[in-house]
Amino acid sequence: MADLDPNQLLDRIRQSETLDALESLRVEALGKQGSITQLLKTLGKMSPEERQAEGPRIHGLRESVTDAIQSRKAALERAALDARLAAETLDMTLPVDAPLAGTVHPVSQVMDELAEIFADLGFAVATGPEIETDWHNFSALNIPDTHPARAMHDTFYLQQGQEAKAAGTFDERATFSLLRTHTSPVQIRTMLEQQPPIRIIAPGRTYRSDSDATHTPMFHQVEGLVIDKGITLGHLKWTLETFLKAFFERDDIVLRLRPSYFPFTEPSAEVDVGYTIEKGKRVIGGSGGGWMEVLGSGMVHPKVIAACGLDPDEWQGFAFGCGIDRLAMLKYGMDDLRPFFDGDIRWLKHYGFAALDVPTLSGGVGVAA
């Protein structure tokens, strides 16, 4: 300790002008051959009485030097950052030197638009597994065993489900045996897990054995569900009309509800939207050109409500569903569904969206590139 002046060492640390100079002092004092390290090594040779007297002073000096170095290092780094910020400038009004690489896929863009629109209407986004049980996908939705949708040529069944049936261990509520054919199972899972009132949309991938210009084995669907007291068809029609006006960004949207049949809704209705002919093409809006079917809807069937443990005499609701890919085609002018999944960079550049074009109702939901 006699050869080391603690005050002088601490002064040198406080007066260090650069990080390199500070690092040299750290090595000089605390490195393997540093002065304080050497002092610590002498403790082992001291008698117990000497160690009791010198130990606290040496350890205290090490802590003081360590704290001083850390404090000075932080100050030097802060000063360097301040100097850099003062010297560097960035003009945010200047255009970027090169266009952004990559685009947002129309399906992703439309999903964002749907979430934005329905969030303003008080709906939450719900998700569920793409591999489903027979009960969630069919039985809980009041779809009978003889319904064509259950046939092998319409639904992708998994080997594990077939093996469970053959072994006699199949449980339609627990055995994950098929790729979901719609996002309706998300409605069932939500009603089982959440007490009403419920207002959700369920976007996601679905799977059916179908393939042509307007159908693919995998496609995207969005479904909506409202469960509350006193819900009527009037609430359904207003919701769909408000949604379609916001999505197509037109106030002249005209709807027509045609009676139909779905096992999970009663009454059920196909929803048509009017269109006009502009420059030889069908454009959503008005009704001078005719009607186009865009989605299915209806009041949730009492059996579906009861299957989820709710009293259909107390709770009512409506549901609707449509293809996200079809919505994109109608809004942005695509005429073939298959290129959606081809991964052709030329198609993506033409129909894709800039990554920073975040859809909002107040600022518009974007225009295809």
**Whether residue 61 has pLDDT greater than 50:** yes
Nearest CA to 130 out of 186, 203, 180, 173 is that of 180
- Supply the pLDDT for residue 333: 83
Token readout for 229 is 């007291």
- Supply the pLDDT for residue 243: 95
**Whether residue 2 has pLDDT greater than 50:** no
Stretch 285-311: mean pLDDT: 93
- Contact between 199 and 243 under an 8 Å Cβ cutoff? The reply is no
**Whether residue 299 has pLDDT greater than 80:** yes
Residue 303: pLDDT band with limits 50, 70, 90: very high
- Supply the pLDDT for residue 1: 46
**Whether residue 240 has pLDDT greater than 50:** yes
**Whether residue 126 has pLDDT greater than 70:** yes
Distance CA 33, CA 9 (A): 16
Residue 369: pLDDT band with limits 50, 70, 90: very low
- Where do we find the tokens 């029609």? 237
Residue 212: pLDDT band with limits 50, 70, 90: low
What are 335-342's contacts with CB under 8 Å, separation 24+?
A: 335/213, 336/213, 336/214, 337/213, 337/214, 337/215, 337/216, 337/219, 338/213, 338/216, 340/105, 340/106, 340/107, 340/216, 341/216, 341/218
Alpha carbon dihedral 52, 58, 62, 65, in 10-degree steps, equals 140
Stretch 111-133: mean pLDDT: 94
Residues 6 or more apart whose CB falls under 8 angstroms from that of 182 comprise 137, 206, 221, 223, 321
Nearest CA to 248 out of 183, 201, 203, 294 is that of 294
Stretch 149-173: mean pLDDT: 84
Stretch 350-359: mean pLDDT: 75
Residue 149: pLDDT band with limits 50, 70, 90: confident
Distance CA 137, CA 364 (A): 36
- Contact between 205 and 218 under an 8 Å Cβ cutoff? The reply is yes
Better-predicted residue by pLDDT, 183 or 361: 183
- Contact between 335 and 234 under an 8 Å Cβ cutoff? The reply is no
| pLDDT tens column, 304-337 | 999 999 999 999 999 999 999 999 998 888 888 8
Better-predicted residue by pLDDT, 90 or 364: 90
Residues 6 or more apart whose CB falls under 8 angstroms from that of 57 comprise 1
Looking at residue 285, what DSSP letter applies? S
**Whether residue 214 has pLDDT greater than 70:** no
| Top-ranked range on mean pLDDT: pick from 45-59, 122-136, 153-167 | 122-136
Peptide bond into 339 cis (omega under 30): no
- Supply the pLDDT for residue 307: 96
